[in-house]
Each structure stands twice: as C-alpha cells, then as structure tokens.
Structure 1
C-alpha cells in the first residue's frame, strides 16, 4: 500500500485546501530529495482479483489441493473462506490494488508483456545492467528470453484450462456484456439469511453463465465481471479509486483525488532534482493469472467460484494447481513493480514532465529464501543489500555512487512491448 500513499501524498501536499495540504507547486522540490519504493505495486496485483472473486490465492488453492473437502465442509469452509470474503469486501484497499492500465499494460486474450517468460526459475539466467549499459539487446539478456511455453498471461481469469491456452479464435465468441444482458436479475433468497456476499443476490443462472467453461477475462473485462458479481462493493470503492490510463492529463477531472494513487492517471510534481527508486525482489514465482471452475456445491451461502487446483502444467511449466506464475517477489509481479521506473517515468514523459530521475534496483532471490538475503515481498525489509542502498541514498549518494540501475529480470524487454503513449 505504500506506493498508493506516496503517489497520493505527492498530489495532496501541493493541492490547495480543503482538498489538499496547501504546500504549493514547489513543496516537493524543496522538501524531498529521494523516494525509495520497496516492493512497489504501482500497477496493482492479480491476487487482488482472486481475493474479490473467491477469497482465494495461491496459498488457499494449495491447501485445498492438499486437503480436499476441508475448505468446502460445513464447518471450516463456512467459517474460514466465507468469513474472509465477508470481511475483505469491506476493505477498499483490496480494490485499490486491482490491476491498473487494463489490456495495454497487462495484455489481452493473445498477448502479454511477459510473452516467452521462462518459468523454470532454477535454470533461468539473470543479468546485471550497469549504469553505462542501457542496451537490453546485449548477449546476456538474450539468453533470458528463450521460449519454453507460450503462456497467455493476459487472460487473468480463465474458466477451464482450455480457456487459458487456446487461441482466442477457438473460444466462444459471446462476450461478457452479452452474457450479463441475458441474465442480469438479482435473486435474493431470504432463506439464506443476511446477504453477506453479493453472490446471494445473484440468480443461479447468472452465476452459471459467468463461470461457464471456455470463457476468459482480461484486466479490462475483469472490471465488468466484478461490477456484476459485486456491484455494491465496486460502486463504493470506484468512487475513490481509478484503474485506467489518462488520455489527457490536463483534463481538470484528474484534479480529483480518486486518480492520485494511479501512476497512469497523474503527473509527478515539478521536482527535477528529486529521485525515485523502484526497489524490489525478483526470481520468485509470483501469481499472475488463474484457472477457475464453478464450485461443486450449489448450496446457499457458498462461494460459487474457486481456483481449479486439479489443473497443472508439465514439468517446468508456469501453471501449478490452477495458478499461472510469472517473475516477481512472491506477491507483486515484476511488471507492476518495475514498469514505471523502467519506462513510464523514464526521462521526460507526460507522467513525469520535469524529468525526475528514476532507477530500477532489483534484488535477486538466493537460497535460503529467508534472512539477510531474502527478496520476498515482506522479508526484503531485512535484505542487507536493500538496507545498504537505502543508507547510501539517505547519506546523499548520487546515481553513480549507488550504482544506477541494477536489473536481473526481463523488465526492460517487457516495457518495450507495452505500447503506452508517453
């Protein structure tokens, strides 16, 4: 959540009261030397989607696979996952972490920035990019991108494995809005008691059509899906957060605070001497997309969808127990953590008009995964290399003294593939 507050603060502190803090347009330039973002989720995280849809993620899916039936029982099931959903749907923070930028950033039915990603992390070669070498086409980098499988990461939610792998031309042509128009009725069953999730207000026909096999949803169509299965939650939270890409940042509507935590809908302040660091771990399988199925039970007060833990890929595949993995720090994909510093804000762009210097600082995962070398999303706070970097920045180090960009992942190649107007 730190990056959301960081971006919001940069706008709030300069904005006039009563909306903002009244610091004026030069406040950031005068008072902030550098900002170090640790494990940033600038563009959101896919796991927020699975949380809203079924109160699940990798850990829950794995537990369900290891202990079939436990989470679907009438005791633990009702009091665990369903309690998680009831509580988490009151947290607007979950929706604030929904993927930002739609298909432009996260990919569509047949394309994603991570195309050609290699999921056998134990054999993948990494490379370091020195401050003087910004050429991603060097010989070491090329070895990272050897094709093993073509994973369609742009399909963030797929119902059935076929929907996650087949070419879009092989899938049913009906789109989500057509399905919703066919059956948009709410069918609250009073025998269910309090409608603690909005699924209780949906007709079983609607639930079935949404989760029909061979349908997939991208980072764009997902919002239509969630507005249908959780309209009250989405209406409330979308009044405070936005997840799109600005066409014209000069439009007065972007002075509204709902846009301030989205780096694709706000401008950085006029502070050319300020520095921004994107510091995060890499080399750890991180949730990127999911294969779902309809829950076997049709009973009242049951979450109707769940990750299909019976779906696995071949050895070395990106797919394990219904979850497709990409590179990241176990929680935040590299795409979300690194894109803004690698491209979105690099140099003078419409999102960074004063040309604030940005640096990508990646920390490679090494065994063991805990301790002073850990790069997981939380444990990286104890990573000695990260701590040294922060101390250097705090002590006044410049780009050369801290080492400039340090890159082990495919973030530069991913960024090149994203066609975003800068």
Structure 2
C-alpha cells in the first residue's frame, strides 16, 4: 500500500509540474534557442528536481518547434495558392478586357444603379475616359498570352523584300496540311444547335466542347464508316477564308507568318487565296461533297483571267500533288495535259509527306503515337480515362483523309529485314534497325519483327471491313516503274496520292521546290506488346448483325436498341496490341524511348518520306517525263531554346512555316525573283540515304 507521506509527495510534485507547463507559453522565445526563463541545470542531487528540470527543458524545445511550424504553416500547407489563384484569375480576366468593354461596364453599372435606385456620392474628379486611357496603357505593357511565342520577327522578311523594291508578281494559293483547317458545325438538330457555326476543330471553343461535351463532339467529328461522309444529323464543314488556317488556337500560329510577310509586298485577298478543306474526307469525297478541287481550279483560272499571270501554289504536309493529277484528268478536272503548264508558275512542297508517316500507321493500329506514350504517368492516366486508345483509334479509322499518309513504297523504300536506306553507319540495334514496325512482343513469350509491308497487311487485317473497302477504293501504296503502267495510272484516281505510281504533270516550265527540315528526332518504328484474347468487334461488320428486340416492358423504342447475340462460334481470338511504353533503350543507336524508335526527320515526318522523291525519285525520267527542275532546300533544325516555337531557324514540321528561310523562299518566288531553279543536294538525305533501289 501507498502511505500518506508518499501520496503527499506525489501530489506536490504533480502540482509543481502543472505550474511548469502553464508557464511555457510565457517563457518560450519565438526563435530557436533557449527562452529567457531558461536556467542552468540545478546543482542538486534531488532526483525529483532533476526530473522536473529535464521535462521542462524538453517541453520548452517542443513548444519552440510548434511555434516555428505555426509561423510557416501558410506556405507549408500551400494555403496561399488559393488566393494566389484568385488573383491570377482576376488579372487574366482583365487581360482580355477591351476598350469597348470598359464603356459597356460603365453603361451597365449606371443602368443597374438606376434600376435599383442606388445613389452614390458625386465624384467630380472621376473620369471614365481617363480610366480607359490608363487601362490601355497598362494593358499594352502586359504581354498577351498569345504573344508569348512572338519573337519580334513579324513582317521582317516582307520588309526586307519590300526595301529591295519587290512587289507582288504572281497570285498565290496556300494549301494547308492535315488537321490545320478549322472545322465548323452546321448541324441544326436540337442537340447540336448550341454550337451552330462554332468551331469544333480549332479555336478555344474546341477545347470547351471536348472537355464538357465530349460524347457529342466525338459523334459530330466522326464520319460514317461506310459512306465516309457526314453521320446522320451531324454536319461539319471547313471554315472559309485566310483565318481558317492562320492559327489553330490563339497563340498557336500556322500560316499567319507567311500571310504577314506576303501582305507587306502587296498581297491581299485579291491575289492571295488560302484553300481550306475538310481533311477528314478522302480526296474523292472532297470533290463529291464539297467540290473542293473544282473550286480550286476555278480560283486559279480566275487569277489567270483577271491578272494574266500564272499562280504560285504552296502546299504543306498532306496537301501534296493530288490536285495536279486531278485537274489534268478528262474524267475529273478536264483541264487536259497542258493545264498545269499554262496555269501554275511554281509549286512549293513544304514538309510534304510524299512517302507517308509512321505515326499514321500507329494511330490506325492502336490509337497511339509518340506524343501519347511519352506523356508522364499522370497525364497518360488522365488521357486514357478521358479519351481511351480504343476511342481514338475508332475516330482515326473514320477519317479517310488521314489514310492518305499511309506508308508508301513498301520494303523498297522503307527497308527489309536486313537493310534500310536510313540505317546509321554505327547502327547497334541489330534486332530492329530496319523495320517500320520493328517487333510485336507477345507478353514476353516471343518477338516477331515486321517490315513495312508486313505491318501494313497486319494492320489492315485488324481493321473493320468498311475501312478495308475504303482503302481499296481510294488509295494505293505500291511502287511502279513501268512507263506504260504509269501512263495508265493517269486515269486511276486511287494512284494520285502516291508519287511512286504517277508522273509529274506535263509542265516543263513549272518550277518545283521541296523545302523540309531535318535534324530533329522523329518516330520511325515501334515496339508493340499484346494483351489477352478478346472478341474482335471489327469482325462483326462482315456478318449481318441481328438485333434482339427490346422487352415490351422496357423504355427502349428502337428496334435495334437491344443486344446483338454473338455467333456461338465467335470465339475470343483477337489480341489487342499497343505500344510497349515500358521498353526504353538509349544505349543503342537509334535510341528507343517508351517503345518508339527514333530516326531522322522534322519531328513528325521521316527524312525518307520528306526527301525520297525530291532528291532522287523526280530526277528519273519515268516519274518526271517533262524534266521539271526540282529545287531541294533542306533546313537544319536549330531552334532557340528560349522561344516556344523555335525562332527563325526552326525546321519542326509545323514551326517551319514561321522559319525565316522558308518565308524568304515563298516571297521571292511569289515576287518573281526566282527566274530559274536548280537542284540542291541536301546534306542529310544525300549522305544518309541509299536510294539505288529506286
């Protein structure tokens, strides 16, 4: 038992300990270090006093830590981010205020005060016009968001040419590349009326629709898989005018740099025409639905009739040579064999995808490309949850126009199992150095290499029959050396997108320029992996599906609103494939990152596709019987790191449209400075490619 003396001693010690704790907040200094009431350890042998002193010292240290933590808690807990975000949002909103908005705000505020009988003291010295002036001065000193990628070179090329006395000589037609043209909604059904005449592709409105109205946006953008035209109740058309492809969204220019420099040397809408088109459509349907090539032919003929001059045509990326064959054909354009010679002064191919693009193949196979697999894990997760690979693939497969960028020339151009023309001399990646689609990894069981021809056949086998039919009736991807067959191909529209199967037009006086970039890593081939077996949904369209009528008690009304029974023999035989983003090997040459083998090109298009015909193919008589002079200008990619779009010496696939050299070429050709053309052998293609097989 505890006696009375021990109990009193314990209670006394507890009271003294409580008093010590109560004094801590008064005695502790806010900074680290001892408080003002600290005292040295007592010189005593009493264990109770020593224990109390130790506890007091420990508590004092703990309180100091808590005080320091409290002082920095605002930043430690990131609570300051919310008010900072609010402030940034207010400043951002004010950045978009126009001078007319200030007057409107004044008028609306006055109207609101009159309506609710609100009277404020008279402010005799307050002048809204003065406020507007000061606001404009402040706003001019704050760089607008869309001007961050403007480096002060605007109009400079045109100004230099104007100082030399140059002025507009030939009319100019600009043909955008794939996905460059903005697309507008012309649908009048109730579900689409909220965004009638608004851009569903291009502009900030597209971002809004994709984010908040995703399913409706996909339904509108997807084409009918059978007809290749508009789906029921949806109507999308290309925007018109120069603004249709000047910028993709505010701040991301496309053709605006070229338009600016041409305007300085006296070009305007009377002698400058940007020919936008719905890039989702096949070339055949572009004419069938929109009469695109007929309009283009009429425009060029109008220039010749009014101005007595031929036209300079500048085409980017996918906007290649199809029109030149269409216009000559008696069954189509009806211009005859001399139309190009009589109407086209020069043709400028800017980063032309003559031999196709590897990323188009990956998009058709799995809805992926380098841009999607090299995202950080968080971004990749969000993308997959919001817009899955299967959804992206289905959308790509409905866009027949993008199929024109399918790989052309097969193993002859892109290489076989032992050799490819763009193999680096120090190639150490023996397993997959030469293949367009290097390998399919079967869950670690085995690896199978595929060349471009094998990969093309394999991809088609895993697409719906409607896509296969579309490909067969619109495109051809082989190589033709027989001159008689090339002559016959002049009447076969499926050959016109492939420069290896058609001749250049009969236009010996036409000047032709190929301008493209090199020196930027470009996706060349892919490592794929495969998953478990599952049902092949694309195979079902080969058999007429049967619909089970919905139950009479359900609220479904469509006769096909129920489920479609599977054939008893419809076994899960398909294995989905996707790029193996986990595979990276930077010790080999070429490097492999996230399942993508890198090669030489402009960041989007391989150097093989950019230069094969320009440097080698069109030097041969069978593909260039008229002997058209072809000037090849290859631009090394030398971007300025501090500039978002690379500056004057960029040669990225899109940013090249703002490069100084390209703008100089276009302005010089348009103003008639270039009177003759010569072949310039490009460094990268001439030294890296072996084109003897052509």
TM-score range, shorter-chain basis? 0.7 to 0.9
Deviating beyond 6 angstroms after TM superposition, the runs of 4 or more aligned structure 1 residues are 299-303
Residue 215 of structure 1 aligns to a residue in which SS? Answer: strand
Shift of 1:8: 1.4
Shift of 1:25: 1.0
Match of 1:47 in 2: 359
Contact 2:421 2:688 in 1 (8 A): yes
CA 1:392 to 1:47, structure 2 compared with 1: closer, same or farther past 3 Å? same
Contact 1:44 1:99 in 2 (8 A): yes
Match of 1:80 in 2: 388
Alpha-carbon separation, structure 1, partners of 2:364 and 2:374: 18
Alpha-carbon separation, structure 1, partners of 2:690 and 2:412: 12
Alpha-carbon separation, structure 2, partners of 1:299 and 1:220: 26
- Which whole-Å deviations, capped at 9, do the CAs of 1:366-409 have from their partners, x for residues lacking one? 13262332211111111111100111122223477x88526341
Q: Which of 457, 461, 465 is the equivalent residue of 1:224?
A: 457
Contact 1:249 1:265 in 2 (8 A): no
Alpha-carbon separation, structure 1, partners of 2:362 and 2:390: 13
Compute the RMSD of aligned alpha carbons. 2.9
Q: Which of 506, 509, 517 is the equivalent residue of 1:281?
A: 517
Shift of 1:85: 1.2
Contact 1:159 1:213 in 2 (8 A): no
Contact 1:294 1:305 in 2 (8 A): yes
Match of 1:174 in 2: none
Decide which structure has the larger Cα Rg and report it: 2
Alpha-carbon separation, structure 1, partners of 2:636 and 2:476: 32
Match of 2:508 in 1: 272
Q: Which of 601, 608, 616 is the equivalent residue of 1:328?
A: 601
Match of 1:130 in 2: none
In structure 2, the gaps of 5 or more residues are 1-176, 178-314, 538-573
Q: Which of 32, 40, 59 is the equivalent residue of 2:344?
A: 32
Q: Which of 235, 241, 252 is the equivalent residue of 2:475?
A: 241
Alpha-carbon separation, structure 2, partners of 1:329 and 1:256: 31
Alpha-carbon separation, structure 2, partners of 1:403 and 1:11: 24
Residue 114 of structure 1 aligns to a residue in which SS? Answer: coil
Q: Which has the higher contact order (CA 8 A, sep 6+)?
A: 1
1:214 aligns with 2:423: no
1:419 aligns with 2:693: yes
Alpha-carbon separation, structure 2, partners of 1:80 and 1:53: 13
TM-score (normalizing by structure 2): 0.45
In the TM superposition, 1:376-415 aligns within 5 A as 376-398=652-674, 405=680, 407-409=682-684, 411-415=685-689
Larger mean Cα displacement after TM superposition, 102-111 or 246-255 = 246-255
Shift of 1:253: 4.9
CA 1:321 to 1:295, structure 2 compared with 1: closer, same or farther past 3 Å? same
TM-score (normalizing by structure 1): 0.72
- Which whole-Å deviations, capped at 9, do the CAs of 1:47-77 have from their partners, x for residues lacking one? 11110111101111112x634982696x43x
Residue 363 of structure 1 aligns to a residue in which SS? Answer: strand
Match of 2:399 in 1: 91
CA 1:226 to 1:343, structure 2 compared with 1: closer, same or farther past 3 Å? same
Higher share in helix: 2
Q: Which of 574, 580, 588 is the equivalent residue of 1:308?
A: 580
In structure 1, the gaps of 5 or more residues are 117-145, 162-207
Contact 2:527 2:579 in 1 (8 A): yes
Shift of 1:224: 1.6
Alpha-carbon separation, structure 2, partners of 1:362 and 1:399: 20
Match of 2:635 in 1: 363
Residue 34 of structure 1 aligns to a residue in which SS? Answer: strand
Shift of 1:80: 2.9
Alpha-carbon separation, structure 2, partners of 1:224 and 1:108: 15
Contact 1:213 1:293 in 2 (8 A): no
CA 1:114 to 1:416, structure 2 compared with 1: closer, same or farther past 3 Å? closer
CA 1:365 to 1:296, structure 2 compared with 1: closer, same or farther past 3 Å? farther
1:156 aligns with 2:401: no
Contact 1:46 1:289 in 2 (8 A): yes
